[in-house]
């Protein structure tokens, strides 16, 4: 979905480095999400945000932090990367109105930690 842009698309880094993954959206959605995808495990929720002042932990938030800089921007940070954080990371957005709304995903960041 070109309306949800993730940067970088690919990143290789070393253990212990601090990494920031960025997500920006032009859909005007209030809600934004960060997921990681591992083979055979599907998508697991890391953090989510309903608006600029609202941040919530997901299923697997340990080792990660987020920042909602504006309605359109939601960044994910790995403070000190470790190899088992190697995964495909996705950002998603959703309109805040109504229960039955779909999520819109970016094309992901493939992160490899050596």
Partner 1 sequence: SQQGEEDPQALSIQEGENATMNCSYKTSINNLQWYRQNSGRGLVHLILIRSNEREKHSGRLRVTLDTSKKSSSLLITASRAADTASYFCATGNSGNTPLVFGKGTRLSVIA
Query: What is the residue whose two structure tokens read 């880094």?
Result: 13
Tell me the two tokens of residue 32.
Answer: 């934004």
Whether the upstream peptide bond of residue 8 has omega within 30° of 0, thus cis, is yes
Least gap, CB of 14 to partner 1 (angstroms):
24
CB of 11 to partner 1, least distance (A): 15
Q: Round to the nearest angstrom and report the end-to-end CA distance of the chain.
A: 29
Residue 89: CB atoms within 10 Å: 23
Q: Contact residues for partner 1 (CB under 8 A)?
A: 1, 4, 33, 35, 40-43, 45, 48, 50, 58-59, 90, 92, 96, 98-100, 102-108
Minimum distance, C-beta of residue 45 to partner 1, in the bound complex (Å): 6
Minimum CB distance to partner 1 smaller for 51 or for 79 = 51
């Amino acid at each position: 979905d070109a309306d949800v842009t993730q940067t970088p698309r690919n990143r290789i880094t070393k253990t212990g480095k601090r990494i920031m993954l960025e997500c920006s959206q032009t859909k005007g959605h209030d809600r934004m999400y960060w997921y990681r995808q591992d083979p055979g495990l599907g998508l697991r929720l890391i953090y989510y945000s309903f608006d600029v002042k609202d941040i919530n932990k997901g299923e697997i938030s340990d080792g990660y932090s987020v920042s909602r800089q504006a309605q359109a921007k939601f960044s994910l940070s790995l403070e000190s990367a470790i190899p088992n954080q190697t995964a495909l990371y996705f950002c998603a957005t959703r309109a805040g109105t109504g229960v039955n709304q779909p999520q819109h995903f970016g094309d992901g960041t493939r992160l490899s930690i050596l």
